Amino acid sequence: MAATEHRDARRAQIVTGVRAVARAQGIGNVTVARTADAAGVSVGMVQHYYRTKEDLLIDAFRAVHESVLDRVDHQIALSERRGARIEQMLVDGLAQLLPLSPTRRDEVYLTHAFAGLSLEDATIRTHLDDARDEILRRVSAALENGQMCGEVDADLDCAAAAFTVVALVDGLAAKLLPDADTTERSWAVDALTDAVARLCPGECHHGLGD
């Protein structure tokens, strides 16, 4: 294994430990020692890769964010292959930000816990803002594509609409986080679907004749 691959594998192993501790005991109880124990490595190994606990938490958040984006990209690719509307792609993608499965619940918990930490830590807040800005850019770009194909009204402010629908998803995710039942999860998906439908009232003209 190349040095870079070895380093990445070790860091991924350690980040998995962070997630395990946070899931079981809460993010406030994440320590280097507990992370090492959960990851099956030595305290020295964790300290070799992460100078501070802040660095450890930031890398854990980065890994979660990348995992979410990978899943969003996968869902959108599946929708594209089906020839779905941009409306459906947005719903499929944004639904990945809701805690509708155990894995997604862990991701949403860590994201919201990270947001709490960011209130008192400027470095963490910068990383959180960067992650949110990336999601906003993706949603805004999808709406702009919808304008080009006719699904989205040409005069829609895509940046403002992206902000609104992502804020809705954030709120729904927070509401579902504690212990939502099947009915509440269904309500959340319906609310997202309705919100996106209002942004995409038109017909897609791609592939249609003049």
Portion of the chain with pLDDT greater than 90, in percent: 71
Q: Summarize pLDDT for 80-99 with one digit per residue, the tens.
A: 888 889 999 999 999 999 99
Portion of the chain with pLDDT greater than 70, in percent: 96
Contact 58, 124 (CB under 8 A): yes
Angle between helix 53-81 and 122-149 (nearest 10):
10
Phi and psi (nearest 5°) for 14? Answer: -70, -40
For residue 210, what pLDDT band results from cuts at 50, 70 and 90? very low
Comparing CA positions, the residue from 155, 171, 151, 152 lying closest to residue 163 is 171
Neighbours of 110 (CB within 10 A): 21
Region 161-178: what's the mean pLDDT? Answer: 95
Q: Summarize pLDDT for 114-169 with one digit per residue, the tens.
A: 999 999 999 999 999 999 999 999 999 999 999 999 999 999 999 999 999 999 99
Q: Summarize pLDDT for 48-58 with one digit per residue, the tens.
A: 999 888 999 99
The rounded distance, in Å, linking the Cα atoms of 54 and 183 is 38
Contact 202, 151 (CB under 8 A): yes
pLDDT at 59: 93
Region 192-200: what's the mean pLDDT? Answer: 98
Q: Which residue has the tokens 């406030």?
A: 28
Contact 195, 168 (CB under 8 A): yes
